[in-house]
Amino acid sequence: MILKPMSSKKGTEKELLWQSRFAEPFDREALLFSSSVDVDKVLYQEDIKGSIAHVTMLSEEAIIPVEEARLIVEGLEEIEQEISSGALVPGWEDEDIHTVIENRLKEKIGPIAGKMHSGRSRNDQVVTDTRLYMKQAIGELNNALEDLKKLLLEKAETYRYTIIFGYTHLQRAQPVSAGHYYLAWFNMFQRDGERLKDLYKRVNISPLGAAAFAGSTLPLNAKRSMELLDFGELFRNSIDAVSDRDIIIEFISACSIVMMHLSRFCEDLILWSSSEFDYLKISDAFATGSSIMPQKKNADIAELVRGKTGRVYGDLINILTIMKGLPLSYNRDMQEDKPPLFDASNSTISSVRIFTKMLAHTKLKEERLAKLTEEDLSLATEIAEYLVRKNLPFREAHRITGKIVSHAIESETALQHIPLETYRTFSDLFDSDLYDALKPETSVNTKQSHGSTSFASVDEQIKAAREKL
């Protein structure tokens, strides 16, 4: 702990909160190895908020005098301002942010500061801080996803009548409404939001009052602490309260799925913005150039989001590996839960936000897409379904259409430009009405099945998506 302009170089001469039982001071290198303050200093506001709630409850239950509780709370509020302003800088020799705050409080108000920890363990303290942090992080991530979903609906409405290629196996498959395409992403991110909403119920449980793991002999009012911290539910089992890290695993898992969706979307944008595809344009504000090749325009922001996906996946493997062999209840291994939690949270929230901003400045090249879709073999399915409507079994219709496609490729003739006489050499079921079916607009707009790409269906999907928002 450093209070500017002074600095501390005493290392292990600092008092550690648990040290009284030991005859020898903690080894300096061991303290440096075990110190987590460089990571958990992020939680200083949550820690102070939790301590104020705990002290308020202690005073209300007459476990500590009201006046002493007032001094503690005022001291904690001052410390929050000191850390926020940079006047108080946590140092590694204080072990963790909890020690930083308690030692600073002792400097301010003396031994009374020690009463703050009555009936509380570092175990229930840290999980309370973590849950408070996660409630905030879930809210931020959900808000970022809401902004992305609103943008996707705007894109769907803007491009509902624009026809693009739908792909399978990265091969042109069938023409679809671009609005239908954007709505597919909307549904993915909608599920991401639903996962977060469901997870929030399990995060919104107060563990304060569980103490080390077995509870306390003091007459704690855990329900009051829960109310003061705006938790929705109280822990049921004190062992589980301090040893559970399922919510962190769930959260990083949810982040991993969000990042997977973003990465897939980025892959489309990267491919479609290339010269080979040239379907869309990403604003220069979200692209970079080459240090040696002046002509280059690289979709770097999309590539970075795609790259950060692997980072978040690593966070998930990290926390799963930490927890897989731990006996009940608390183990110091659990200190390592915060780096993957913080990293996954920050990486995912920032990725969603920058991706949304980039996507807002991305435009489809509608004229080029109209020209490409008009003369492409992706309309072949329409030929097969045309024959099905003429009462031909689909397998036979598929076989005939395959031969027509081979002819189109060999003769370098678009399906729309093959003469009717030629079509009739493959089947006498073909008539002049075939050419109406061989238009991208007809292909898209005659889709009748539920959730399809027809313009009417897309309009209904947009309406339903807007209701979900």
* Strand runs labelled E in 287-364: 362-364
Q: How far is residue 194 from each of residues 143, 146, 188, 347, 469, measured CA to CA in Å?
A: 12, 11, 10, 20, 12
State the catalytic residue, choosing from 169, 291, 432, 450: 169
Q: How far apart are CA 353 and CA 143, in angstroms?
A: 10
DSSP helix/strand/coil, 428:
coil
Two tokens at 81?
């301002």
- Angstrom CA distances, 208 to 113, 117, 241, stand at 19, 12, 8
DSSP 460: H
Q: Which of 84, 290, 406, 411 is flagged as catalytic?
A: 290
Amino acid at 159: Y
What H or E segment, with its residue span, contains residue 168? strand 163-168
Residue with tokens 């200093």: 41
Strand pairing class (205-206; 233-234)? parallel
Known catalytic residue at 417: no
Q: Would you call 206 helix, strand, or coil by DSSP?
A: strand
Active site residue 411: no
Q: Which residues are catalytically annotated?
A: 169, 290
